[in-house]
A and B are shown apart, each in its own frame.
Chain A
Amino acid sequence: MNCCRANCVLAKLNMNFKIRAATTVDCKDISRMIMELAVYEKMPDEVKISREELERDGFCQNPFFQCFVAEVPDENKPKEGFAIVGYALYFSIYSTWTGRSMHLEDLYVMPQFRGFGIGKGLLTAVAKVAKEKQCARLQLNVLDWNTPSRDFYAAKGAEDLTANEGWHLIRFQGQNLDALAIETPKN
Chain B
Amino acid sequence: MAAVKMDFTIRPAAKSDCKDIWRLIRELAIYEKVVDEVVLSYEEFERDGFGKNPLFESLVAEVPEENKSKEGFTVVGVALFYYTYCTWKGRAVYLEDLYVMTEFRGCGIGKGLLSTLAKVAKEKLCTLLELDVLDQNSRSRAFYAAKGAWDVTAMDNWHTLRFDAVSLNKLANEAP
> What is A's interface to B at a CB cutoff of 8 Å?
1, 19, 34, 37-38, 43, 46-49, 53-54, 57, 64-65, 89, 91-100, 103, 105-106, 120-121, 123-125, 127-128, 130-131, 135-145, 150, 153, 156-163, 165-185, 187
Contacts and interface: CB of A to CB of B under 8 A. Distances in A.
Contacts of B171: 123-124, 127-128, 138, 156-157
Given A127-B168, A168-B153, A184-B112, A91 B85 contact: yes
State which size class the interface on B falls in.
Answer: 35 or more
B83 A64 contact: yes
By secondary structure, the B interface counts as: mixed
Nearest to B130: A171
Contacts of B133: 167-168, 170
B72 to A, nearest CB: 22
B159 A142 contact: yes
Nearest to B84: A91
B89 interface: yes
Given A96-B97, A181-B118, A64 B91 contact: yes
Interface in B39-67: 39-40, 44-45, 48, 55-56
A143 B153 contact: no
Contacts of A54: 87
Contacts, number: 275
B37 interface: yes
Given A170-B149, A172-B148, A181 B88 contact: no
Interface string B144-162: 1001111111101111111
A31 B92 CA distance: 18
Contacts of B150: 170-173, 176
B131 interface: yes
Given A97-B29, A127-B175, A170 B151 contact: yes
A144 B157 contact: yes
A69 to B, nearest CB: 13
Contact of B161 (A38, A65, A96, A153): A153
29 contacts: A38-B88, A93-B84, A94-B55, A94-B80, A96-B40, A97-B37, A97-B38, A99-B48, A100-B48, A125-B175, A136-B165, A138-B168, A139-B163, A157-B164, A159-B163, A165-B134, A169-B130, A169-B158, A171-B129, A176-B148, A177-B118, A180-B115, A181-B121, A181-B122, A182-B115, A184-B10, A185-B8, A185-B10, A185-B112
